[in-house]
């Protein structure tokens, strides 16, 4: 699965109607709903605010709304743009200001799809990376070589008491290689526990 790297906003006009698309990475359904609420307040005078989200490792939680547009002409085409890109953990609002010229069902589908596609390019698609936390406990004599080995990982917590305790964030697919490397580096003089 993929996700979006950052918040993005684009504007697209067709036949005097303006489509403003805003997308944001989110971690939960509540985050998505809060985002929708903020955008609807910002564009409270808009004709329509189409909302879409997909959440979860496999995209198990999904939602779209046509917000008064003819059924299937707005939310679903926007959702399809994101599904085709295998995206999850994002929320999107396409805001429409009606310009007085009807687009017809096909025109609406194309307009909403185009608006979503343009914004997606600005938001940048990145692969989803799952992380796990590892607790490391070792003697002070290994501190420099271990910190050097972990320079590409996030050290979440450091505790210096009788031994050094580090909590590190490691991509799940690199966990076993990292553990094996640390065991080798310290001649098995390290305690490693997976926290989550």
Domain layout of the chain by residue ranges:
2-127, 131-194
Whether the predicted model's global pTM rises above the 0.85 cut: no
* Token pair of 87 as six digits: 């995206």
* Token pair of 18 as six digits: 């303006």
Domain covering 131-194 in this structure, CATH number: 3.30.70.240
Residue 128 has a pLDDT of 87
Question: Across-strand partners of 125?
Answer: 4
The total of other beta-carbon atoms located within 10 Å of residue 92's CB is: 32
Tell me the C-alpha distance between 68 and 49, whole Å. Answer: 9
Write the pLDDT tens digit of every residue in 11-22: 999 999 999 999
Residue 131 has a pLDDT of 86
Domain covering 2-127 in this structure, CATH number: 3.30.230.30
- Can you tell me which residue has the tokens 């979860």? 56
Tell me the C-alpha distance between 18 and 98, whole Å. Answer: 7
Does 143 have pLDDT greater than 90?
yes
Does 78 have pLDDT greater than 80?
yes
């Amino acid at each position: 699965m993929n996700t979006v790297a950052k918040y993005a906003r684009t504007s697209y006009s067709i036949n005097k109607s303006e489509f403003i698309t805003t997308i944001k990475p989110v971690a939960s359904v509540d985050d998505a709903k809060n985002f929708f609420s903020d955008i609807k307040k910002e564009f409270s005078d808009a004709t329509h605010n189409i909302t879409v989200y997909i959440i979860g490792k496999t995209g198990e939680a999904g939602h779209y709304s046509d917000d008064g547009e003819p059924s299937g002409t707005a939310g679903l085409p926007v959702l399809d743009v994101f599904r085709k890109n295998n995206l999850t953990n994002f929320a999107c609002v396409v805001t429409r200001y009606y310009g007085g010229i009807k687009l017809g069902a096909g025109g609406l589908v194309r307009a909403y799809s185009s608006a979503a596609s343009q914004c997606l390019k600005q938001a940048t698609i990145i692969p989803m990376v799952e992380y796990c936390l590892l607790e490391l406990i070792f003697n002070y004599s290994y501190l420099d070589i271990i910190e050097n080995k972990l320079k590409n990982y996030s050290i979440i917590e450091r505790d210096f008491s009788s031994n050094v305790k580090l909590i590190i964030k490691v991509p799940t697919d690199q966990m076993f290689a990292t553990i094996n490397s640390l065991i080798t580096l310290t001649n098995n003089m390290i305690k490693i526990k997976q926290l989550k």
